[in-house]
Amino acid sequence: MTDIKMTAFEIISYAGDAKSSAYEALEAAKQNDHAGYEAKMEEAENKINEAHKVQYAMLQEEAAGQMHAEFSIIVVHAQDHLMTTMATIDLIKELSELYFLRHA
């Protein structure tokens, strides 16, 4: 497997972990568990930041001419997974605020 595909799978893995943690944070918010929400959302943020670091490094390498990224459905999927997870995390933050307001 090429390095770029391995990098894509790394992004997918981090993003998948981030999405799982974000949904666990949402479940905690539904239960009015502020501490559980904060812990899981911190996990989600840490994982998505790791995915973003991997993506950024890949972009830097290509921009510097150190790598030429071939078209790959796996790379497209990784990018898609990263961006949808980032949007999911943002939406879960907003929804969680509503759950916490409901319990206030």
Residue among 52, 68, 77, 81 flagged as catalytic: 77
Q: Is 80 annotated as a binding residue?
A: yes
Give the tens place of pLDDT for each residue, 4-21.
889 999 999 999 999 999
Average pLDDT, the chain: 93
What residue ranges define each of the domains in the chain, with the CATH number in brackets?
Answer: 3-103 (1.20.58.80)
- Hey, what are 46's tokens? 């840490």
Q: Which residue has the higher pLDDT, 73 or 104?
A: 73
pLDDT of residue 63: 87
The angle that helices 34-63 and 3-30 make with each other, rounded to 10 degrees, is 160
Are 12 and 72 spatial neighbours (Cβ–Cβ below 8 Å)?
no
Residue 88 DSSP class: H
pLDDT of residue 18: 98
**Long-range contact list for 35-43, CB < 8 A, 24+ apart?**
37/96, 37/100, 41/89, 41/92, 41/93, 41/96, 43/17, 43/18
Catalytic residue at 77?
Answer: yes
Condensed to tens digits (0 to 9), the pLDDT of residues 32-63 reads 999 999 999 999 999 999 999 999 998 898 88
The reported pTM is 0.91
